[in-house]
């Protein structure tokens, strides 16, 4: 009955926070509750965005709801997160974002000035990313029936390259890159929410990644195998999912993974692992061995990156999907997130 | 300060239930809070779905969040509503729905069997409408931070005809049709929620309207001027919005508007007007005078309609946008909904 999963046929007794963690329980909920009923070749891919073929053009389509608490935090707010998050889901397929929808669920009594501030953020983030909000919807529920504001954004993008960006294209010897430090968003939200007074210097990394993704694809073409933005569940969970889909194993070096000092300190105090903390402006890129040096240069040249690094490589499938060489020279299996360290991270 | 609107520059002090009613306060919130910041030619149209031009093809894109309470009701549930509602937003532009996204916000502790029942509805409704759910997202919030389940669906459709369906194409002498009885959904939710024991025979009209819309457009072409599904705010609000956009007035005959006996009775007891109650499976169609008889025949031939009728006509702009000839022979102005008779209707 771990994770609320019933004993027979995977029936789920009750929805738990863990089911929204982006980790193992989320994955089970998706498979048992949603794929079992809604299965189709596009949905079954479980990519960050769906790839559709419409009258000869290829379109990426994605959706995400944002329930982050607090709604304002160092480095951003729920509005900026909602715009950048959906743009990034499109970007991970290499799509050029074209249009966003905006669906608001507001709690009765929500202050107009907070709403105005969030909408200013939405407008600014969309403008900076070069994307328009083209359709919207607003619902208001009575006081106590929602917590302040929830935002859904769905996004449409154009796929301009002629090969799929998907983990199933990863080959042994391909290299795994990360575009910058990990754990910044998760550590920021956690310390701010708990009022721990630890958040000096911490800031969310929310940012749009589509320009960096397009730059990599435009120059390196199919040498780029796949992208993923490690949001809920963190870097560790995304790597396990990619390795599974690739049918390979990933070997990662702990020392190569960039972590900001402030994030490392918070993690040490709170007993957290930065590899499981959410990121909102980082991408994993898996590229061919030959293209890796140039990919790193491209990342380094762009303002979206902060300390990109090669963190590991793909190898033939071993005993576990992801194995990490630790700083002290040991080797350990990296698992998907289990248990919810931090609900409402995004 | 009516409707929570501040005295200066339309600033909104606080979000009220009325801002989600689909009526006048919603319209003000949209203009002052959203259009003021996010304005672009597509969003500014404020149609049920946005029309996008992607590499030479025309696409409709729409979003809607569903927060209906209760989540199960006679004639449907929140899952069916979420699928049909977004399909209908696409259908009102004459689009062929192609793909839906599904974003869930779940309250911790929500029963797995209720979620399974809702997902069964989503799957069945999508199958019946011939549309696939291609991408999704699930968030879980702690107990008490949301009410059971909220669903966002966004939809993509193909626009296959070469003229716009929009109220600005309406001309004087055009006729206004409704595809069936009004107020069924609103009356059902209201009586069920209040536990009034009045709901014998009442049932939501939730259903997909895209086939009926396409049949009208395919046969009558540009003689069809515009469609609208009168959801929140009811028939009255939709008519006022359409007349405004057309720059014309509409003359409506009260006796021509089909209302089920059970709905009329509930309205009489509760002091409500069926013209302001939500519909979830009805469409307003404005067509040329010459095409109206055939439009009515097409509607009558389809299972989606129940007692379609010509309810009025467009005339040159008069003193008020919508005027109704009452059953007793008087004439009165029809206004948009003001005040929220019933939050969480959809």
φ, ψ of residue A82 to 5 degrees: the values are: -65, -35
- Show the tokens assigned to B218: 């395919």
Say what the pLDDT of residue B94 is.
96
Angstrom distance (rounded) from CA B244 to CA A1: 58
Please indicate, yes or no, whether residues A135 and A251 belong to a single structural domain of this protein: no
- Would residue B135 count as lying in a domain? yes
Q: Are B177 and B295 in contact (CB under 8 A)?
A: yes
The CATH number of residue B294's host domain is 3.90.650.10
B340 to chain A: nearest residue by CA? A140
Q: Is A117's pLDDT higher than 50?
A: yes
- Would residue A199 count as lying in a domain? yes
Domain hosting residue B142, numbered range: 47-158
Average pLDDT, chain B: 93
- Top residue of A16, A32, A38, A278 to mutate, by most chain B CBs within 10 Å, is A38
Please indicate, yes or no, whether residues B188 and B322 belong to a single structural domain of this protein: yes
- Would residue A6 count as lying in a domain? no
- Would residue A9 count as lying in a domain? no
pLDDT in tens, A129-161: 999 999 999 999 999 999 999 999 999 999 999
Please indicate, yes or no, whether residues A135 and A248 belong to a single structural domain of this protein: no
Choose the closest CB to B16 out of A43, A57, A108. A108
Chain B hits for A19, Cβ within 8 Å = 106, 138, 140
Sheet harboring B96-107: ordered strands across?
A: B50-54, B57-66, B149-158, B96-107, B132-141
Please indicate, yes or no, whether residues A175 and A77 belong to a single structural domain of this protein: no
pLDDT in tens, B42-98: 999 998 899 999 998 999 999 999 999 999 999 999 999 999 999 999 999 999 999
Chain B hits for A61, Cβ within 8 Å = 99, 101, 134-135, 156
Please indicate, yes or no, whether residues B171 and B122 belong to a single structural domain of this protein: no
- How near does any CA of chain A get to the CA of B118, in Å? 10
Choose the closest CB to B138 out of A29, A115, A135. A29
pLDDT in tens, A195-210: 777 667 899 999 999 9
- Would residue B8 count as lying in a domain? no
Cβ–Cβ below 8 Å for B108 and A132: no
Chain A hits for B140, Cβ within 8 Å = 15-20, 343
- Show the tokens assigned to B331: 């004439």
Please indicate, yes or no, whether residues B190 and B254 belong to a single structural domain of this protein: yes
Chain B hits for A150, Cβ within 8 Å = 105, 139, 146, 150
Please indicate, yes or no, whether residues A228 and A96 belong to a single structural domain of this protein: no
Q: Is B5's pLDDT higher than 50?
A: no
Please indicate, yes or no, whether residues A200 and A297 belong to a single structural domain of this protein: yes
Chain B hits for A121, Cβ within 8 Å = none
Q: What share of chain A is helix, strand, coil (3-state, %, to 5)?
A: 35, 25, 40
Cβ–Cβ below 8 Å for A134 and B107: no
| Model confidence band, residue B341 (pLDDT cutoffs 50, 70, 90) | low
Cβ–Cβ below 8 Å for A133 and B38: yes
Please indicate, yes or no, whether residues A249 and A216 belong to a single structural domain of this protein: yes
Please indicate, yes or no, whether residues A290 and A173 belong to a single structural domain of this protein: yes
- Would residue B28 count as lying in a domain? no
- Would residue B69 count as lying in a domain? yes
Mean pLDDT of A73-87: 97
Please indicate, yes or no, whether residues A72 and A121 belong to a single structural domain of this protein: yes
pLDDT in tens, A16-59: 999 998 889 999 999 999 999 999 999 999 988 999 999 989 99
Angstrom distance (rounded) from CA B35 to CA B32: 6
CB B91: neighbour CB atoms within 10 A? 32
The CATH number of residue B79's host domain is 3.30.1330.10
Q: Is B6's pLDDT higher than 80?
A: no
In angstroms, what is the C-alpha Rg of chain B? Answer: 19
Q: What is the ipTM of this complex?
A: 0.95
Angstrom distance (rounded) from CA A92 to CA A90: 5
Choose the closest CB to B112 out of A11, A50, A147. A11
Of B138, B158, B178, the residue that ends a domain is B158
Q: Is A6's pLDDT higher than 80?
A: no
- Show the tokens assigned to A44: 């079954």
Average pLDDT, chain A: 93
Choose the closest CB to A61 out of B6, B29, B101. B101
Q: Are A65 and B103 in contact (CB under 8 A)?
A: yes
Total number of domains in chain A: 2
Distance between terminal CA atoms of chain B? Answer: 27
- How near does any CA of chain B get to the CA of A341, in Å? 13
Q: Is B2's pLDDT higher than 50?
A: no
- Show the tokens assigned to A236: 């560790």
- Would residue A11 count as lying in a domain? no
Q: Smallest Cα–Cα separation from B108: which of B70, B79, B146, B134?
A: B146
Q: Smallest Cα–Cα separation from B118: which of B156, B80, B69?
A: B80
Q: Is B34's pLDDT higher than 60?
A: yes
Mean pLDDT of A108-127: 98
Mean pLDDT of A217-229: 98
Of B139, B158, B177, the residue that ends a domain is B158
Of B130, B158, B186, the residue that ends a domain is B158
Please indicate, yes or no, whether residues A152 and A180 belong to a single structural domain of this protein: no
């Amino acid at each position: 009955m771990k994770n609320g999963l019933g004993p027979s046929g995977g029936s789920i007794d009750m929805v738990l926070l863990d089911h929204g963690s982006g980790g193992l329980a989320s994955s089970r909920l998706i498979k048992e509750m949603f794929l079992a009923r809604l299965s189709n070749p596009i949905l079954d891919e479980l990519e960050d965005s769906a790839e559709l073929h419409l009258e000869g053009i290829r379109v990426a389509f994605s959706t995400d709801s944002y329930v982050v608490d607090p709604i304002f935090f160092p480095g951003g707010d729920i509005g900026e997160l909602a715009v950048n998050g959906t743009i990034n889901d499109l970007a991970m397929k290499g799509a050029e974002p074209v249009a966003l929808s905006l669906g608001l669920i507001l709690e009765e009594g929500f202050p107009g000035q907070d709403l105005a501030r969030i909408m200013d953020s939405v407008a600014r983030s969309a403008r900076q990313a070069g994307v328009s909000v083209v359709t919207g919807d607003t619902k208001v529920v009575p006081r106590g029936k929602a917590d302040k504001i929830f935002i859904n954004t769905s996004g449409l993008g154009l796929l301009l390259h002629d090969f799929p960006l998907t983990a199933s294209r990863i080959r042994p010897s391909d290299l795994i890159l990360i575009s910058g430090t990990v754990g910044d968003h998760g550590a920021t939200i956690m310390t701010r929410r708990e009022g721990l007074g630890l958040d000096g210097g911490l800031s969310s990394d929310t940012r749009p990644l589509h320009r960096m993704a397009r730059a990599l694809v435009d120059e390196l073409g199919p040498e780029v195998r796949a992208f993923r933005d490690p949001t809920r569940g963190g870097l560790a969970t995304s790597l396990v999912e990619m390795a599974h889909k690739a049918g390979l194993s990933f070997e990662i070096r702990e020392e190569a993974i960039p972590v900001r000092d402030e994030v490392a300190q918070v993690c040490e105090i709170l007993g957290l692992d930065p590899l499981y903390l959410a990121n909102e402006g980082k991408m994993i890129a898996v590229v061919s061995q030959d293209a890796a040096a140039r990919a790193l240069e491209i990342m380094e040249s762009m303002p979206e990156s902060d300390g990109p690094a090669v963190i590991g490589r793909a190898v033939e499938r071993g005993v576990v999907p992801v194995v990490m060489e630790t700083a002290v020279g040991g080797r350990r299996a990296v698992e998907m997130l289990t248990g919810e360290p931090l609900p409402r991270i995004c």
